[in-house]
Structure 1
Amino acid sequence: MSSTAQTSEGSIAVLGGRVVTPERVVDGGVRIEGDRIVDIGAVDGDADTVVEADDRLIIPGLIDLHGDDIERHLYPRSGARMSLPMALTSADRANISAGITTKFHAISFELDEEVDRSPELAKMLTDAITDAGDLLADHRLHARCEVSQRQCVDAVLEIVGNGDADLVSVMSHIPGKGQFRDVEAFREYYENTADHTVEEAEEMIEKRADISMSALRDRVDRVVKAAHDTGAVTASHDDEDPAEVERLADSGVDITEYPITLGTAERAADIGMTTAMGAPNLVRGGSQWGNLSTADAIDAGVVDVLVADYHPPSLLAAAFVDTGEPLPTRVRRVTASPADAVGLDSRGRIETGARADLLVVDPDPTPTVARALVAGRPVYRADRRGQ
Structure 2
Amino acid sequence: MSQRLIRNARIVTGGESFVGCVAVEGDIIRSVTRGSTSACGAEDWEGDWLLPGLVELHTDNLEKHLMPRPGVLWNAASATLTHDAQCAAAGITTVLDSVVIGDMDQGGARSQTCEPSIQALHDCRERGWLRVEHLLHLRCEVSAPDLVDAFERYADDPLVELVSVMDHTPGQRQWRNLDKYRRYTERNGRLRDADYERLVDERRRDQERFAARHRAAVVAGSHARGIPVASHDDTEVEHVEQARAERIELSEFPTTVAAAQAARAAGLGIIMGGPNLVQGGSHSGNVSAAELARRDLLDIMSSDYVPSSLIHSAFLLRGRMDWSLPKAVNTVARNPAQAVGLADRGEIAPGKRADFIRVKEADGMPVVRGTWCRGERAF
Q: TM-score, normalised by structure 2?
A: 0.92
The answer to whether structure 1 residue 12 and structure 2 residue 37 are counterparts is no
- Greater displacement, 170-179 / 57-66: 170-179
SS of the counterpart of 2:332?
coil
Distance 1:86 1:212, change over 3 A: closer
Distance 1:200 1:153, change over 3 A: farther
SS of the counterpart of 1:118?
helix
Letter of the aligned partner of 1:348 in structure 2? G
Distance 1:370 1:162, change over 3 A: closer
| Paired residues of 1:13 and 1:43 also in contact (CA < 8 A) | no
Letter of the aligned partner of 1:368 in structure 2? V
Letter of the aligned partner of 2:142 in structure 1? V
Pick from 178, 201, 205 the counterpart of residue 210 of structure 1: 205
Pick from 120, 124, 127 the counterpart of residue 116 of structure 2: 124
| Paired residues of 1:60 and 1:348 also in contact (CA < 8 A) | yes
Write the deviation string for residues 269-292 of structure 1: whole angstroms up to 9, x where unpaired. 101111100111111111112211
Distance 1:214 1:267, change over 3 A: farther
Give the Cα separation in 2 of the matches to 1:50 and 1:126.
Answer: 41
Distance 1:122 1:201, change over 3 A: farther
The answer to whether structure 1 residue 37 and structure 2 residue 5 are counterparts is no
Other-structure match for 2:373? 374
SS of the counterpart of 1:195?
coil
Write the deviation string for residues 60-94 of structure 1: whole angstroms up to 9, x where unpaired. 00111000000111122222222111000000101
Unaligned runs of 5+ in 2: none
**Would you say how many aligned residue pairs link Structure 1 and Structure 2?**
370
Distance 1:143 1:113, change over 3 A: same
Letter of the aligned partner of 1:346 in structure 2? D
Other-structure match for 2:300? 305
| Paired residues of 2:9 and 2:48 also in contact (CA < 8 A) | yes
Identity %: 31
Pick from 42, 47, 63 the counterpart of residue 71 of structure 1: 63
Distance 1:194 1:265, change over 3 A: farther
Pick from 295, 310, 315 the counterpart of residue 315 of structure 1: 310
Other-structure match for 1:6? none
SS of the counterpart of 2:174?
coil
- Greater displacement, 169-178 / 35-44: 35-44
| Paired residues of 2:276 and 2:283 also in contact (CA < 8 A) | yes
Letter of the aligned partner of 2:369 in structure 1? A
Structure 1 residue runs of 4+, over 6 Å off?
Answer: none
The CA RMSD measured in Å over matched residues stands at 2.0
Matches within 5 A, 1:1-387: 9-41=1-33, 42=35, 44=37, 50-111=42-103, 117-133=109-125, 134=128, 135-191=130-186, 193-195=187-189, 197-198=191-192, 200-211=195-206, 213=208, 215-321=210-316, 322=319, 323-365=321-363, 366-380=365-379
- Displacement, 1:50? 5.0
Write the deviation string for residues 210-269 of structure 1: whole angstroms up to 9, x where unpaired. 045584122111101111222211111111111111102211221111101001001011
SS of the counterpart of 1:319?
helix
SS of the counterpart of 2:368?
strand
| Paired residues of 1:319 and 1:331 also in contact (CA < 8 A) | yes
Give the Cα separation in 2 of the matches to 1:12 and 1:112.
Answer: 51
Unaligned runs of 5+ in 1: 1-8, 381-387
Give the Cα separation in 2 of the matches to 1:25 and 1:164.
Answer: 33
SS of the counterpart of 1:187?
helix
Give the Cα separation in 2 of the matches to 1:206 and 1:45.
Answer: 71
Write the deviation string for residues 287-343 of structure 1: whole angstroms up to 9, x where unpaired. 112211111101111110000001111100011112111111111100101011111
Give the Cα separation in 2 of the matches to 1:296 and 1:267.
Answer: 15
Give the Cα separation in 1 of the matches to 2:145 and 2:47.
Answer: 54
| Paired residues of 2:28 and 2:374 also in contact (CA < 8 A) | yes
Give the Cα separation in 2 of the matches to 1:76 and 1:215.
Answer: 31
- Displacement, 1:116? 5.3
Give the Cα separation in 2 of the matches to 1:326 and 1:201.
Answer: 47
Give the Cα separation in 1 of the matches to 2:16 and 2:215.
Answer: 41
| Paired residues of 1:148 and 1:174 also in contact (CA < 8 A) | yes
